Amino acid sequence: MKATAFSLTPKDYAKPLEVVGEKITVLASKEATQGYEVFLQDGVEGSGPPPHSHDWDESFYIIKGNVEITSGGKAIAGKPGTFVHLPGGTVHSFRFGSGGGLMISMTSRGGNASGLFTDIDKEIPPGPPDIPKLIAIAARNKVAIAPPPKQ
């Protein structure tokens, strides 16, 4: 299939998805791009996913606030203007810092972050999440939650 040019404006975006302390807006779906996905992630202080991995690459560009991104046991203290790329299969996590923050994220072709975010929005109400249910939703969307580090 030949890729086609497209443009989207805020009127085209669906309502933000509520994903365990984040409001995630799908800026470009894999249907629109014919492969990859782009999101606006607006997180409150302390929000962010547990360590996890998936088959698709993922990149983050921090717009506002501070976001600590952890990968390979190393933490990157991201501030506005920081760009981080994580290849598929990399165990990673992030946390929005004091006052929350805003970042753009993008997946590689074949990603399914939008499926994951949509399922979480539908099945997990705001507030402290049901962890077993969150793990099951992640697994269903080909995301592996990393086991906690051994003490």
CATH of the domain at 63: 2.60.120.10
Please indicate, yes or no, if residue 9 is contained in any of the structural domains: no
pTM of this prediction?
A: 0.91
Q: Would you write out the chain's pLDDT as a tens digit for each of its 151 residues?
A: 577 888 888 898 999 999 989 999 999 988 888 889 999 999 999 999 989 999 999 999 999 999 999 998 899 999 999 999 999 999 999 999 999 999 999 999 988 899 999 999 999 998 888 889 999 999 999 999 987 666 5
Please indicate, yes or no, if residue 8 is contained in any of the structural domains: no
Number of domains within the chain: 1
What burial letters (b/e) apply to 57-90, b meaning 16+ CB within 10 Å?
bbbbbbeebbbebebeeeebebeeebebebeeee
Please indicate, yes or no, if residue 89 is contained in any of the structural domains: yes
Instruction: Quickly tell me which residue has 């984040």 as its tokens.
Output: 22
